[in-house]
DNA sequence: CTTACAATGGGGAGAACTCCTGATATGCGG
DNA sequence: CCGCATATCAGGAGTTCTCCCCATTGTAAG
């Protein structure tokens, strides 16, 4: 029995590459390709695939939203997220939306082929890079809320992070916030623990992604 | 006569997809794949390809820097940039670095195959989305513009800056570049003098603005 | 040939960061 | 009331960064 697959990615060369590789598998048939979330939604209703390979970041309607809507309508369709990012927000939100698998784009194709067969047997497949992210996400999900990585930080921690990312030293931050240098360092340490960063460069990039500061 | 091709991209599934498609072309042979700029540089010296398909954004040594260095050593090698971004800085800097073509990742594979054959005949190939960017870049280059990182910093300094902005310590950078920590610190000091920055956070932001690294 | 700059390497000093270990107080929810 | 998160503060150790000083080599421009 052949597995019917749809591909959703906003980059045509990526779609064609995936198709070229998938077509080497005898038991897999690629029904079509979509370049955004809205398009994959329509195609899914028409073509009823078994599996969708879904990019997370797409224009118009992103992969997370598309997944949520498709799973709500057609629970039988298995969706495998294929993403460049191992950002925990993407991973956790995608799984919460109902994805049956999450692969990074730097995985091997054979892993993807394997993932397709795994999700077909109603199991979840995660590439090993994201596995521990999910575990930690599960462990820290004592509350049913939306714990975006940003909300991981307390207001004070976000305040400190912003000043750090603006290039201020701990001493200056302490001065500005009227607290001791040691307190600033404690905040910084907690921030780095939570974000799993190890230095100012990574903290700065995180702050930029979260809009706490600009380039 | 077959065209010998190397692939440089930090995502394995992208590399495999490109390889799968390229191998369908009778006159093209894929010699190998690299996952960062440093690796493609070494492989180019060993394998002497005709064409390199080069991702612009790669860790460690980005595609622009790698292109600059490869073109300097081996002017005969044709490099086609393959990027997600139509950001003018990427396009213009890549071409300035000596790339013979610039394609967006949402182009069709047949365009890429065509680009390979065009650059083999010593011509430049641009996917149409970036063509007008280049024209406008040319027009605005008649007036003296603000000094970007590429004129202000030396190649080695840009290399060090990228690694700093990726969160690496001086010791690790020294190790990676096979130079002493003191040399790295000298480079860093010169970079900070030139850019008038005082810390890693500001350096990181500068590197992001200039496209040396991404968030 | 001189001048300038890039790239390499080094010594030393103080500041800043990173990573531990603690502690106290407050407020909120079960 | 208890547990938990937040916010505050501290000591110490080790690493890293920042900023001075300096040098040699090679190369490109004038």
Q: Is B182's Cβ below 8 Å from some Cβ in A? A: no
Kindly report, residue by residue over B4-36, the tens digit of the pLDDT. Answer: 999 999 999 999 999 999 999 999 999 999 999
Tell me the average pLDDT of chain B: 85
Q: B51: left (phi > 0), else alpha (psi -120 to 50), else beta?
A: beta
| pLDDT at res. A132 | 60
DSSP SS3 for A76: coil
A8 & A113 share domain? yes
A103 contacts in chain B (CB < 8 Å)? 13
Strands B101-104 and B125-126, bridge-based pairing = parallel
B71 & B23 share domain? yes
Strands A28-34 and A3-8, bridge-based pairing = parallel
Q: Cβ of B180 < 7 Å from strand D? A: no
B97 & B179 share domain? no
Nearest protein residue, CA measured to C1' of D15:
B169
pLDDT values of chain A reduced to their tens digit, one per residue, 215 residues: 899 999 999 899 999 999 999 999 999 999 999 988 878 988 998 999 999 999 987 765 678 778 877 887 787 899 999 988 776 667 777 877 788 888 988 888 988 998 999 889 888 888 877 766 655 554 444 333 333 445 678 778 888 888 898 899 999 989 888 999 999 999 999 999 888 888 999 999 988 877 677 77
Q: Is the pLDDT of residue B184 over 70?
A: yes
A130 & A166 share domain? no
| pLDDT at res. A107 | 87
Residue A128 within any structural domain of the chain: yes
Q: Is A35's Cβ below 8 Å from some Cβ in B? A: yes
What lies within 8 Å, CB to CB, of A38 at 6+ separation is A60, A61, A66
For B85, phi then psi, to 5°, come to -105, 140
Strand D nucleotides within 7 Å of a protein CB: 5-12, 15-23
Kindly report, residue by residue over B142-180, the tens digit of the pLDDT. Answer: 433 345 556 688 888 888 998 999 999 999 999 988 999
Q: Is A11's Cβ below 8 Å from some Cβ in B? A: yes
Shortest distance, CA A32 to any CA of chain B (angstroms): 15
Q: Is the pLDDT of residue B137 over 80?
A: no
Residue B161 within any structural domain of the chain: yes
Residue B186 within any structural domain of the chain: yes
A105 contacts in chain B (CB < 8 Å)? 11-14
Question: Domain containing A189: what range?
Answer: 155-209
Of all residues in chain B, what percent carry a pLDDT higher than 70?
Answer: 90
Rounded CA separation B186/B207 (Å): 18
Residue B214 within any structural domain of the chain: no
| pLDDT at res. B208 | 87
Question: Structure tokens of A34?
Answer: 């979509």
Q: Is B201's Cβ below 8 Å from some Cβ in A? A: yes
* Confidence grade of residue B139 (pLDDT, cut at 50, 70, 90): very low
Residue B215 within any structural domain of the chain: no
Which of A11, A13, A85 to substitute to test the interface with B, most B CBs within 10 Å?
A13
Instruction: Tell me, rounded to whole angstroms, the distance of Cα B67 from its chain centroid.
Output: 5
Is residue B70 within 8 A of residue B79, CB to CB? The reply is yes
A167 & A201 share domain? yes
**What letter would DSSP give residue A149?**
T
| pLDDT at res. B51 | 96
Contact (CB<8Å) A13/B82: yes
Question: Structure tokens of A212?
Answer: 């706490």
| pLDDT at res. B52 | 96
A159 & A96 share domain? no
Residue A149 within any structural domain of the chain: no
Q: What is the number of domains present in chain A?
A: 2
| pLDDT at res. B78 | 92
Mean pLDDT (whole number) for B73-77: 84
Which of A204, A210, A212 to substitute to test the interface with B, most B CBs within 10 Å?
A204
CATH number, domain at B94? 3.40.50.2300
Question: CA–C1' span, A202 to C8, in Å?
Answer: 29
Residues 109-168 on B with a CB inside 8 Å of A are 109, 112, 164-168
Q: Is A50's Cβ below 8 Å from some Cβ in B? A: no
> A60 or B101, which is more confident?
B101
| pLDDT at res. B195 | 85
A10 & A90 share domain? yes
Rounded CA separation A207/A205 (Å): 5
Residue A86 within any structural domain of the chain: yes
| pLDDT at res. A210 | 74
Q: Give the residue ranges with Cβ < 7 A from strand C.
A: A 164, 169-171, 185-186, 188-189, 192, 198-200; B 154-157, 177, 179-183, 185-187, 190, 199
Choose the final residue of a domain: B94, B123, B140: B140
Choose the final residue of a domain: B120, B140, B160: B140
> B44 or A106, which is more confident?
B44
Strand C nucleotides within 7 Å of a protein CB: 5-12, 15-23
B123 & B18 share domain? yes
Question: Structure tokens of A181?
Answer: 């240098």
Nucleotide nearest to B153 (CA to C1'): C6
A74 & A174 share domain? no
Q: Cβ of B204 < 7 Å from strand D? A: no
Distances B101 to A148, A170, B127, B160 between C-alpha atoms, Å? 40, 46, 8, 26
CATH number, domain at B156? 1.10.10.10
Q: Is the pLDDT of residue B38 over 80?
A: yes
Nucleotide nearest to A156 (CA to C1'): D7
A98 & A161 share domain? no
Q: Cβ of B154 < 7 Å from strand D? A: no
Residue A58 within any structural domain of the chain: yes
A134 & A162 share domain? no
Contact (CB<8Å) B13/A205: no
A8 & A100 share domain? yes
Question: Structure tokens of A183?
Answer: 């307190």
Nucleotide nearest to B168 (CA to C1'): D16
Choose the final residue of a domain: B81, B111, B140: B140
Kindly report, residue by residue over B196-214, the tens digit of the pLDDT. Answer: 888 899 899 988 888 788 8
Residue in A14, A35, A167 nearest the CB of B201: A167
């Amino acid at each position: 029995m052949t597995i019917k697959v749809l591909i959703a990615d906003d980059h045509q060369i990526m779609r064609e590459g995936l198709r070229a590789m998938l077509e080497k598998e005898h038991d897999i048939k690629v029904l079509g390709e979509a370049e955004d979330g809205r398009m994959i939604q329509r195609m899914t209703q028409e073509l009823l695939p078994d599996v969708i390979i879904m990019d997370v970041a797409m224009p118009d309607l992103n992969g997370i939203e598309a997944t949520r809507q498709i799973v709500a309508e057609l629970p039988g369709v298995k969706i495998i997220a294929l993403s460049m990012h191992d950002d925990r927000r993407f991973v956790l939100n995608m799984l919460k939306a109902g994805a049956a698998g999450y692969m990074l784009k730097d995985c091997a194709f054979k892993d993807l082929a394997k993932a397709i067969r795994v999700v077909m047997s109603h199991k979840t497949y995660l590439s090993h890079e994201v596995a521990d992210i999910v575990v930690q996400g599960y462990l820290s999900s004592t509350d049913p809320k939306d714990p975006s990585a940003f909300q991981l930080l307390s207001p004070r921690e976000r305040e400190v992070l912003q000043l750090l990312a603006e290039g201020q030293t701990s001493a200056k931050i302490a001065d500005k916030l009227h607290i001791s240098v040691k307190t600033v360092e404690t905040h910084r340490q907690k921030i780095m623990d939570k974000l799993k960063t190890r230095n100012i460069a990574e903290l700065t990039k995180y702050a930029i992604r979260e809009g706490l500061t600009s380039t």
